[in-house]
Chain A
Amino acid sequence: TQLLEQSPQFLSIQEGENLTVYCNSSSVFSSLQWYRQEPGEGPVLLVTVVTGGEVKKLKRLTFQFGDARKDSSLHITAAQPGDTGLYLCAGPTSGTYKYIFGTGTRLKVLA
Chain B
Amino acid sequence: ETGVTQTPRHLVMGMTNKKSLKCEQHLGHNAMYWYKQSAKKPLELMFVYNFKEQTENNSVPSRFSPECPNSSHLFLHLHTLQPEDSALYLCASSRTDGQNTGELFFGEGSRLTVL
Contact = CB atoms under 8 A, between A and B. Distances in A.
Nearest to A41: B108
A77 B104 CA distance: 26
A33 B100 contact: no
Interface string A28-44: 00110101000011111
Contacts of B94: 97, 99
Interface stretch (B12-20, B40-48, B59-67, B75-83): B40-48
B106 A102 contact: no
Given A42-B109, A97-B31, A97-B96, A102 B104 contact: no
B43 A97 contact: no
Given A88-B43, A96-B56, A97-B31, A31 B100 contact: yes
Contacts of B33: 99
B55 A97 contact: yes
Contact of B106 (A30, A40, A44, A100): A44
Contact of B42 (A30, A31, A40, A103): A103
Given A97-B55, A98-B56, A101-B43, A48 B90 contact: no
B103 interface: yes
B43 A42 contact: no
Given A33-B103, A43-B43, 15 more contacts: A40-B108, A41-B109, A45-B103, A45-B104, A92-B100, A93-B100, A96-B100, A97-B48, A97-B50, A97-B55, A97-B56, A98-B58, A101-B35, A101-B43, A103-B42
8 contacts: A33-B103, A41-B108, A42-B6, A92-B100, A97-B50, A99-B33, A103-B42, A104-B42
Nearest 3 pairs of A and B residues by beta carbon: A42-B106, A92-B100, A101-B43
